[in-house]
Amino acid sequence: MDRTGITLTDESLVGQEITLTNCDREPIHIPGLIQPYGFLLCLDEHSHRVVQASANTWELLGMAAEELIGQGLDWLFEPARLMEINAQLEQLREGHRLLGVRLDQLPGRPFYKLILHRFDALLWLEFEPVAASPGELLDMPSLNDALGQMLAAVSVVEFCEHAVQQVRAITGFDRVMAYRFAEDESGEVVAEARRPDLESFLGLHYPATDIPKQARAMYLKNWLRFIPDVGYLPVPLVPVRNPSSQRPPDMTYSVLRSVSPIHVEYLQNMGVGATMTISLIREGKLWGLLVCHHYSPRLVSYELRDLCQFIGKTFSALLRSKEQADDFAYQVRLREHQARLFGLLAEFPDFRTTLYQHLPVVKEIFDCGGVVVSFEGDIGLCGNTPTEAQARELLAWLDAHMPGELFHTSSYTRHNPAGVVLRATASGILAIRLSHSPGDYLIWLRPEVLQTVTWAGKQQKAEIQKDGVLHLSPRSSFAAWSQSVENTALEWKPLEIDSAQEIRLRIADIRLRLFNEIQERAQVLTRLNAELERSNDELDSFAYVASHDLKEPLRGIHNYSVFLLEDYADKLDAEGIHKLETLVRLSQRMEALIESLLQLSRVGRLEPEVQQIDVNQVVREVVEILRPRLEQNGVQLSVAQPLPIVQADPVRLREVFNNLLTNAMRYNDSAVKTVEVGVVTDKVIGPRGPIDPAAYHTFYVRDNGIGINSRHHESIFKIFKRLHGQDKYGGGTGAGLAIAKKMIEKSGGQLWVESQPQEGATFFFSVPK
């Protein structure tokens, strides 16, 4: 028996205390119970007659459940509405939910809204009370705003932050959290919107056992679960067993379905009075949840919950693209740190100088706690590392057990039980060989995950029953989880492993040059070519994802927004139309961002088609295209002297001039706007030092515009970086300068800016002769 007095369907659990070892077997999909804030009628799908009813119909309708068995719906609805309901019942798909007509024919009773679905050979009619205030309506401007913010998010965390803020704004819950699952199915609160006086749960971790397997399966089928009053007393079905199947009906898709008493106890231990959970699903797997808590009972209308579910589904549809953006950002950061290391390796003839004297640079390449370098008996340590004596023991173990050139693990103790003493510094190991001599390694270290996480219930006191049995609570579930992740660090990402391999190859290449080992050097170069080909394949894959997976939902959002403007403009007020128009503009802007990203990736992959071209002709062609805008803005354009003939890609050179001239015209508030194009005849200093005029042509585009502060001279060349708001200086994606810089650098030149605020700007770029 559970605490409601209803016998558990799984007879193997009857009489047992529900614990971490058996709660995964609790039959939560067939409880035979509902929450009492509404009532339920189950109809035979052929005869449309009641076969089961919730026991609270007498309290809510004035008719006992037993009296309703075998009846149709004509006692409840007038003929016109009954015809409408029957039509809806006929079109119901399995598991698909519809909002039906309002029940308002019962004198002296509250009004109820009807929710319909078909499942388990039954037609389900669930009735919820209608909100007393008419304010809970679908708020299209808020929806538009939510979609716009979610589309504009540039990372998964920012994406989650917008989602929790929107759901809290819609529902008024005290706390809304975005909860993300890890590989071991434990979870972490990654975003939170809460009442100001509440303590923050942000960053807290929860064991996998807090959400049993069957609950996860339910979240995949039913996107939203709502409990308006955690302290409710469940109401049984009459009869509990379906007369046809002789078992309780499968309530997977029931809105009123009573939840697990274990879950109720867990919520009560946390002081929660009402809760709502929205599934976040990526590629058919449960990625996480939007979890809403209120510290007193709270009834949120079905319409607003449906809006929250729509936000959850939109979040799920866009999630993959946001994760790829995060991965891409981490890849870029990793490549930048790696390039810095490679630059130091190239600067010093002996790689040992770089490794020992620049250990912080080596450590920063990956998210890790510390780094160890050992070569020819010398050991260098940086960050959170074992002692030198412990490091030498680790090196000896690698000599005996490391089979190849690279070794990685998230749990060193699984390979070497004696390594338990290193778990605070070296539970995770990523090691590369520096040579085939014993003890020559470069090792990155990660601490045990238990050393770095904050668990949600670690400080709570355990509650003991009278018979001495421990309740299922956050404290007890943590004990089991901590055992499963003990001596374990965060997994090394494939990208990190590949990068470590590239570092090994680079160091091996340097050693080969030092010792003139020609044959082995050729093998390394072959491997580097293979790595380069893999990188290009990854870039092609990313471009495909950007053009296909991102554009398709974006076009849908854009098209449906246009449809709403075309078909429902006369039903919306001016603000609603403005919000829709804003959504259309945002979708168009995101499409422009995607196109810019694709163009940047193409520049990196394709070699320039170099030919002899007259730069004067190139400038004339660009000016001819821009002439209407130049005249409209009153820009005075001049070419300082005849421009030379160069060896370059004409398409890319035109794109560079077009971008620089457009920016010179756009960012200019002067009464008389001037732009000058010319070529530098003297020696000039570029970002990497003096530029030899005998080897390069150096061009410039100078304006008398608003200028650029020196602290932004580097950041303006980053992809999608804008120094001004989207509504200032003609908008734009912020990708033009990044693309132009990539084009010039791909041709072997440099592009940079010299400028001060209110003093105009001069952009220089060099082209090899």
Please say which residue of 78, 106, 129 terminates a domain. 129
Residues 545 and 616 in one domain: no
What share of residues in the chain are helix, strand, coil (percent, to 5)? 45, 20, 35
Q: How far apart are CA 43 and CA 120, in angstroms?
A: 11
The stretch 647-658 carries a mean pLDDT of 86
Q: Tell me, what's the pLDDT at 43?
A: 93
Collapsed DSSP state (helix, strand, coil) of residue 762: strand
pLDDT > 90? residue 395: yes
Same domain, 571 and 619: no
Kindly tell me if the per-residue pLDDT of 314 is higher than 70.
yes
* Contact between 74 and 105 (Cβ < 8 Å): no
Closest by CA to 276, choosing from 236, 319, 311, 322, is 311
- Three-state SS at 275: strand
pLDDT category, 734, cuts 50, 70, 90? low
Structural Rg of the chain based on CA atoms: 33
Tokens of 561: 């927004």
763, exposed or middle or buried, with CB in 10 Å at 0-12, 13-18, 19+? buried
pTM of the model: 0.56
Residue pair 315/159 in contact (Cβ under 8 Å)? The answer is yes
Domain assignment present for 668? yes
* Environment class of 483 (CB within 10 Å of its CB; exposed 0-12, middle 13-18, buried 19+): exposed
Q: Are residues 85 and 153 part of one domain?
A: no
DSSP per-residue codes, 658-689: HHHHHHHHHS---SSEEEEEEEE-S-EEETTE
Alpha carbon of 656 to those of 307, 366, 766: distances in Å? 46, 35, 11
CB atoms within 10 A of CB 220: 12
Q: Does some domain include residue 354? A: no
The reported pLDDT for the residue numbered 517 is: 46
pLDDT value, residue 409? 93
Domain C-terminal end among 105, 129, 153 = 129
For the chain, the straight-line distance linking the first and the last C-alpha, in angstroms and rounded, comes to: 87
Would residue 248 count as lying in a domain? yes
Are both 623 and 716 inside the same structural domain? yes
Per residue in 325-378, pLDDT tens?
888 888 888 888 888 888 888 777 677 888 888 899 999 999 899 999 999 888
Judge if 88 and 233 occupy the same domain: no
157: nearest Cα among 277, 369, 279, 329: 329
CA distances from 42 to 49, 75, 99, 678 (A): 8, 15, 16, 82
Residues, the chain: 769
Q: How many CB atoms lie within 10 A of CB 102?
A: 13
The residue among 223 and 217 whose pLDDT is bigger is 223
Residue 402 forms part of a structural domain: no
**Rounded Cα gap, residues 283 and 734, in angstroms:** 31
Interval 242-270: pLDDT, tens:
888 888 999 989 999 998 887 888 888 88
pLDDT in tens, 496-542: 999 999 999 888 877 766 665 445 555 666 777 777 667 666 665 66
Tell whether 163 and 268 lie within a shared domain: yes
739 pLDDT tier (thresholds 50, 70, 90): confident
* 599 plus 617 within the same structural domain: no
Find tokens 């976040």 and name the residue: 280
Q: Is the torsion defined by CA of 510, 512, 514, 516 positive or negative?
A: negative
The most confident of the ranges 11-20, 59-68, 583-592 is 59-68
Examine the pLDDT at 5 and tell me if it is beyond 70: no
Per-residue pLDDT at 137 exceeds 60: no
Residues 334 and 495 sit within 8 Å (Cβ to Cβ):
yes
Which residues make Cβ contacts (< 8 Å) with residue 429, sequence separation at least 6? 394, 407, 408, 409, 412, 443, 444, 445, 446
Q: Tell whether 229 is covered by a domain.
A: yes
pLDDT at 385 over 90: yes
613 shares its domain with 600? no
Which among 72, 105, 129 is the end of a domain?
Answer: 129
| C-beta contacts of 529-533 below 8 A and 24+ residues apart | 531/498, 531/501, 531/502, 531/505
From the list 163, 279, 165, 164, the residue with the least C-alpha distance to 211 is 279
Indicate whether 32 pLDDT > 70: yes
Helix (H) or strand (E) holding 207: none
Q: Do residues 151 and 318 make contact, with C-beta atoms less than 8 angstroms apart?
A: yes
pLDDT beyond 50 at 583: yes
Which of 2-16, 441-455, 724-738 has maximum average pLDDT?
Answer: 441-455
Q: Where residue 8 falls among pLDDT bands split at 50, 70, 90?
A: very low
Residue 241 belongs to a domain? yes
CA distance linking residue 506 with residue 344, whole number of Å = 12
d(CA 267, CA 297): 12
Taking the mean position of all CA atoms in its chain, how far away is CA 295? Answer: 29
Task: Give the HSE-up count for residue 584: Cα atoms under 13 Å, Cβ half-sphere.
Answer: 14
Residues 297 and 231 in one domain: yes
β-bridge pairing 274-282 and 378-383? unpaired
Instruction: State the total domains in the chain.
Output: 4
Residue whose token pair is 């990660």? 446
Query: Do 192 and 285 reside in the same domain of the chain?
Result: yes
Query: Which pLDDT belongs to residue 461?
Result: 37
Q: Tokens representing 163?
A: 């989602």
- The CATH number given to whatever domain includes residue 762 is 3.30.565.10
Note whether 164 and 285 are same-domain residues. Answer: yes
Identify the CATH number of the domain in which residue 83 sits: 3.30.450.20
Other CB atoms within a 10 A radius of the CB of residue 36 amount to 19
The answer on 600 and 616 residing in a single domain is no
Q: How far is it, in rounded angstroms, from Cα 338 to Cα 443?
A: 15
Domain that residue 68 falls in = 30-129
**728 within some domain:** yes
> Residue 218's domain is classified under what CATH number?
3.30.450.40
* 119, HSE (Cβ side, Cα atoms, 13 Å): 22
379 domain residue, yes or no: no
Strands 112-119 and 122-129, by their bridges, are: antiparallel
Alpha-carbon separation of residue 306 from 28, 137, 225 (angstroms): 23, 11, 11
As a whole number, the mean pLDDT across the chain is: 81
Q: Which residue blocks in 256-407 are alpha helix, DSSP H?
A: 261-269, 302-347, 351-357, 359-364, 388-401
Bigger pLDDT: 577 or 20? 577
Give me the half-sphere count of Cα atoms (radius 13 Å) on the Cβ side of residue 304. Answer: 22
**SS3 letters across 61-84:** HCCCHHHHCCCCCCCCCCHHHHHH
Token pair 């020196």 is found at 710
- What is the reported pLDDT for 694? 85
